[in-house]
Amino acid sequence: MELRKTALRLLIVSIVVSGALAVAALVTGEFGQLQAKVLLSALATSGASICGMACGAAWDQDRWRPAALAGLGIVLVTLAVTLFAFWIEPEPIQTWMKTVASGWLLSAAAAHASLLGLARTDRLLGWVRSSSITLGFALALGITLPIWSSTFQDNNAYFRGLGVVGVLMLTGSLSLPVASRLRNLHVPDDSVADDPRARVMCPACGHVQSASLGRIRCDRCRAGFRVELDPA
């Protein structure tokens, strides 16, 4: 996917720029405002590339394309606002920085939701995934509120509640791929048509596996055979 390649290129470039600036600052002993802006811009580009690749991965699944598109929109708008705030420094700068922080929280939640969308689920695990995605956005919103309002900043009970939400979100997110693997879930039927590989059965041992047409070696018995498409 071209989007994924572009994100990878941006990530590599931003990492190189960040490393070069860090080395230059250590060698020369100088790190001014311009270098700080370039470094922060490179880090922002890295973050956007990572979140964008996560959303791009979900794009490959048809039912997750609207969510992936929304996530990509959030990431790109956040990156644009971040670079604008760093370089133009509009007034009031505090409001712009709050907007930047809120955007990155939403971008992280969108990337988190996109990655969970890649998991193979049944009815039970589908509920776990939906709950984890909801908790992820709730956590992002919960962290955003104290940024904008001082009402929540000194409320210990509020932050304890956020901690509970975070723990539940992490528990569901980390257990989902493990549970999916343990339950040996197969690719849903609606995604088989999008898979360029075919499901083939080994004539020697009967093992079924996904493979591209042509020369194939069985994963179980290592027997070799060829599968071709009959145009008739």
Percent above pLDDT 90 for the chain: 31
Sign for the CA dihedral angle at 136, 142, 143, 148 comes to positive
Summarised one tens digit per residue, pLDDT across range 81-107 is: 999 998 888 889 899 999 999 999 999
Average pLDDT value over all residues in the chain: 83
Helix (H, G, I), strand (E, B) or coil at 181: helix
Q: What pLDDT, on the 0 to 100 scale, is given for residue 191?
A: 43
Q: With 0-12 CB in 10 A as exposed, 13-18 as middle and 19+ as buried, what is 19? A: exposed
CA distances from residue 222 to 100, 173, 210, 226 in whole angstroms, order as listed: 54, 36, 14, 13
Q: How far is CA 140 from the centre of its chain?
A: 15
Joined together, the tokens standing for residue 213 give: 């047409």
How far is 58 from 113, CA to CA, in rounded Å?
9
More confident residue, 139 or 26: 139
**pLDDT exceeds 50 at position 21:** yes
d(CA 144, CA 99): 9
Q: Check pLDDT > 60 for residue 1.
A: no
What mean pLDDT do residues 65-70 have? Answer: 84
| DSSP assigned state of 29 | -
Give 30-43 pLDDT, tens digit per residue. 777 877 888 888 88
Amino acid 155: pLDDT: 82
The rounded distance, in Å, linking the Cα atoms of 113 and 137 is 9
* Per-residue model confidence as pLDDT tens digits over 142-181: 999 999 988 887 788 999 999 999 999 999 999 998 888 8
For 183-202, write each residue's pLDDT tens digit: 776 544 444 444 456 778 88
CA atoms within 13 Å, Cβ hemisphere of 121 = 16
Reported as a pLDDT band with limits 50, 70 and 90, residue 226 is confident
Q: Which pLDDT does position 134 carry in this prediction?
A: 95
pLDDT for 74 beyond 80: yes
pLDDT band at residue 25 under the 50/70/90 scheme: confident
Tell me what pLDDT residue 103 has.
94
User: d(Cα 67, Cα 55) in Å, to the nearest integer?
Assistant: 8
